[in-house]
A and B are shown apart, each in its own frame.
Chain A
């Protein structure tokens, strides 16, 4: 009894010591990169026991709002910051907001057509046509001519999309806006949009559940999710004219080909990226960090974490089905860390 109490007291004392010397950094934002972020923050804490980074995955909207309001030290978002958001941050916090790409995500076209087991080829015209409600049958010429040898049924296409606002929807609609003028005019890009047609599934599991149960359906799903759940999906024709299967390599390739024209603030959409082997429906996800951090320990810790994330952190991404950053982007970002002061 006495012994356990001693051990308990000793444990408490150690905790107290640890707590007193610990720097606590709080962040909030995007849900998509949450698994890799929590892995990173955990690994980083093991290397630097005096630094504890907490992250609440509350959604990109909340991430931008909270970092702008100053209730967290950093935010995270799946979308490029808008000019309004940057201006609002500047007026409220008196400094710049810096966006650092961390990993890449992609959206793939999954489908359930009875009798079709091969990986279908989708052209941008086919995807836009299906989601606009102009291509309504699986044996539409646009689909048939790009899938020689596949017996596509004379059946109505059931369109499925994500119901809740998400980065995956943003990528998908951003891509459709780039490849179809009509889509851009009628629907546009956004985390949630006014869909011309289709059923809304709640979350990746909702979309895939709906796909499995609805014959002749098509839906878009986050790449991480289909890789982990072994769901078949189609190839998409990229800007270079080749049909590309989405995987971690082709997504990183898309980012690499976009890296040449990368602006200094990393606000860039990489959908429909040029270059061979690039999968066209992908996007960065960003950490949002204020350029002025008053607490010197926090400033040092965040800068150090970014450096570690770009080097050692990137090696942990593929195990969790995230596409790592291409080296061109890593090099550019490493330089940008110096902007935090």
Chain B
């Protein structure tokens, strides 16, 4: 209301004040933040435009077959994106499958159960984890995680070998290894954001639940977590975005083999990894163009998955509301 009456009051006070109004906080700030927002949009649009125009040769050559075929032969100039799409989606899915329970569990502990001092100290360390360069995670993957998996997986195969996802020979580098490395990399995002969201749940709700006789765990699980559900979902999608685009750590442990295998123990390849691996040395125009189109495909996957995420949040929100 106050903002509505203010312009009318100043309208009669002459040129000087019009100028002053123009350069005074409100409109200037509005213009600035508007520019910031449109700047980001423009940048995204420019990105899509560049990806679109530079992949023209590849799109003209392969059309939609690019998304349907699985041969990747730079010598013969024959390119298909399917194994890379598969690898990207599968490694991210494995990463999230592991990171979500761990991440949400850790966030609940840090927000609800841990003494505040311990919680702050641990959160600081976890957030540090998010700042570690991904090549470090990749090296840890090669030299620590892969040897560990080489010991664990035979037992896992004995127990679950009947499932197609745990069949076939295991050489250490695999879709599974990449997924496990990704889970370590994205968990800090889930923990850090979910903890903040859980802490933001009003105190009254906890007190009310405890007052009607709920145990501490019932309060947490039935009252606090559902209230923070949207925020937690948000953290998961942040983690997903990170997992889809991760390059270095994935390429170091995924095996870099453009084949589609049902088994998680088989080597695979991801979109970001193949772009990084081949772009610098690609000499033919078609090869470069297909790598750019892969970038476009990755962009598309991100949009589709993010869109699906929004819909999911909307749908669950309505059910609960």
Question: A-side interface residues toward B, CB under 8 Å?
Answer: 31, 58-62, 64-65, 79, 82, 85, 156, 158, 163-167, 187-195, 198-202, 206, 209-210, 213-214, 217
**Which A residues are in CB contact (< 8 Å) with B252?**
202, 206
Which of B49-57, B68-76, B109-117, B312-320 is near enough to bind chain A? Answer: B68-76
Question: B-side interface residues toward A, CB under 8 Å?
Answer: 71-76, 78, 138, 142-143, 146-147, 150, 169, 171-173, 248, 251-252, 255-257, 267, 269, 273, 276-283, 288
CB-based contact A190/B75 at 8 Å: yes
CB-based contact B76/A59 at 8 Å: no
Looking across the interface, which residue of chain A has its beta carbon closest to that of B135?
A: A202
CB-based contact B277/A202 at 8 Å: yes
CB-based contact A193/B256 at 8 Å: no
Complex CA distance for A61 and B72, rounded to whole angstroms: 18
Q: Which of A189, A200, A214, A217 touches B75 (beta carbons < 8 Å)?
A: A189
Known: A200-B256, A202-B252, A206-B142. A191 touches B283 (CB 8 A): yes
A sample of 10 inter-chain contacts (CB < 8 A) reads A61-B283, A187-B75, A191-B282, A194-B76, A195-B257, A199-B255, A199-B257, A202-B256, A213-B146, A213-B172
Looking across the interface, which residue of chain A has its beta carbon closest to that of B174?
A: A199
**Which A residues are in CB contact (< 8 Å) with B248?**
202
Complex CA distance for A158 and B283, rounded to whole angstroms: 30
- A64 to chain B minimum Cβ distance, whole angstroms, is 6
**Which A residues are in CB contact (< 8 Å) with B172?**
210, 213-214
Complex CA distance for A112 and B279, rounded to whole angstroms: 31
Complex CA distance for A48 and B256, rounded to whole angstroms: 45
Looking across the interface, which residue of chain A has its beta carbon closest to that of B173?
A: A199
**Which A residues are in CB contact (< 8 Å) with B257?**
195, 198-200
CB-based contact B280/A62 at 8 Å: yes
CB-based contact A199/B281 at 8 Å: no
CB-based contact A61/B171 at 8 Å: no
Beyond A61-B283, A158-B171, A164-B277, 7 additional contacts (C-beta under 8 Å) are A61-B282, A164-B276, A164-B280, A193-B75, A209-B142, A210-B142, A210-B171
CB-based contact B278/A164 at 8 Å: yes
Complex CA distance for A62 and B266, rounded to whole angstroms: 33
CB-based contact A165/B277 at 8 Å: yes
Looking across the interface, which residue of chain B has its beta carbon closest to that of A58?
A: B280
Known: A199-B267, A210-B142, A213-B172. A85 touches B73 (CB 8 A): no
Complex CA distance for A301 and B235, rounded to whole angstroms: 57
Complex CA distance for A202 and B74, rounded to whole angstroms: 18
CB-based contact B277/A190 at 8 Å: no
Complex CA distance for A58 and B138, rounded to whole angstroms: 21
**Which B residues are in CB contact (< 8 Å) with A199?**
171, 173, 255-257, 267
CB-based contact B281/A60 at 8 Å: yes
CB-based contact A193/B277 at 8 Å: no
Complex CA distance for A161 and B282, rounded to whole angstroms: 18
Chain B CB within 10 A, most for which of A64, A202, A209, A217: A202
Q: Which of B74, B267, B276 touches A192 (beta carbons < 8 Å)?
A: B74
**Which A residues are in CB contact (< 8 Å) with B251?**
163-164, 202
Known: A193-B75, A210-B142. A60 touches B283 (CB 8 A): yes
Chain A CB within 10 A, most for which of B146, B267, B273, B277: B277
Looking across the interface, which residue of chain A has its beta carbon closest to that of B278?
A: A165
CB-based contact A200/B278 at 8 Å: no
**Which B residues are in CB contact (< 8 Å) with A65?**
283
- A339 to chain B minimum Cβ distance, whole angstroms, is 24
Looking across the interface, which residue of chain B has its beta carbon closest to that of A200?
A: B256
Q: Which of B138, B273, B282 touches A165 (beta carbons < 8 Å)?
A: B282
**Which B residues are in CB contact (< 8 Å) with A166?**
281
CB-based contact A79/B267 at 8 Å: no
- B135 to chain A minimum Cβ distance, whole angstroms, is 10
Looking across the interface, which residue of chain B has its beta carbon closest to that of A173?
A: B75
Looking across the interface, which residue of chain A has its beta carbon closest to that of B71?
A: A194
CB-based contact B283/A194 at 8 Å: no
- A18 to chain B minimum Cβ distance, whole angstroms, is 33
Looking across the interface, which residue of chain A has its beta carbon closest to that of B277?
A: A164
- A309 to chain B minimum Cβ distance, whole angstroms, is 24
Looking across the interface, which residue of chain A has its beta carbon closest to that of B138?
A: A202
Looking across the interface, which residue of chain B has its beta carbon closest to that of A78?
A: B281
CB-based contact B256/A194 at 8 Å: no
Known: A195-B257, A200-B256. A190 touches B280 (CB 8 A): no
- A68 to chain B minimum Cβ distance, whole angstroms, is 11
CB-based contact B280/A165 at 8 Å: yes
Looking across the interface, which residue of chain B has its beta carbon closest to that of A31?
A: B280
- B33 to chain A minimum Cβ distance, whole angstroms, is 37
- A165 to chain B minimum Cβ distance, whole angstroms, is 3
**Which B residues are in CB contact (< 8 Å) with A210?**
142, 171-173
CB-based contact A64/B283 at 8 Å: yes
**Which B residues are in CB contact (< 8 Å) with A202?**
138, 248, 251-252, 256, 277
Looking across the interface, which residue of chain B has its beta carbon closest to that of A217?
A: B171
CB-based contact A61/B255 at 8 Å: no
Known: A213-B147, A214-B171, A214-B172. A192 touches B277 (CB 8 A): yes
Complex CA distance for A82 and B251, rounded to whole angstroms: 30
- A128 to chain B minimum Cβ distance, whole angstroms, is 16
Looking across the interface, which residue of chain A has its beta carbon closest to that of B73?
A: A194
Looking across the interface, which residue of chain B has its beta carbon closest to that of A165?
A: B281
